Structure 1
């Protein structure tokens, strides 16, 4: 049995066109509280993202045989970190 109608795209359930057409009227500003110096003083600028690492990692490319990769992957999640720690501890000083 074949369907005779095409499935419609899922809807967000909102009328974005109506929202875009709305023009703010002066009376709507009465709903907003007066901005005071006290309110501004409580404001905090929050920079998003992670803090900078003291010793950031650098992306490189390295070729390893498939059996080496599979042995490290078999150790479970975090295998790349464990590999980096092992290489770091055995590196010449």
Structure 2
């Protein structure tokens, strides 16, 4: 198997060719270059994807609960994990005040 890359080599335009390309682009009303203000307003696509970052992210842990506790919270329907988190937060808030 050949160790040479199968990708074609990239050849950059010369300074003269670059000027000609830039001049042609500026002359085309449908392909005007972006203004500095437009460039500054641009955001990487990566930053726009997915859910926004939480200010207080939750941590992934593995915990074992009794079958009765899980059955109860699951029987309350969708969002049972958030309700379980809320109950635990209330518990922590009540018990941390005593200390």
Please, what TM-score do these two structures have when normalized by structure 2? 0.51
Unmatched tracts of structure 2, length 5 or more: 1-29
Partner of 2:43: 45
Shift of 1:78: 0.4
> Which residue pairs with 2:79 in the alignment?
78
Between 52-61 and 72-81, the greater mean CA deviation after superposition = 52-61
RMSD: 2.6
Higher relative contact order (CA 8 A, sep 6+): 1
Equivalences for 1:1-93 in 2 at 5 Å? Answer: 33-38=30-35, 41-42=37-38, 44-46=42-44, 47-48=47-48, 49-91=50-92, 92-93=95-96
Gaps of 5+ in 1: 1-32
- Cα-to-partner distance string for 1:34-56 (whole Å, 9 max, x where unaligned): 34234x74352251232221111
Partner residue in 2 for 1:19: none
TM-score normalized by the length of structure 1: 0.54
- Residue-pair matches, total: 63
Map of 2:17 onto structure 1:
none
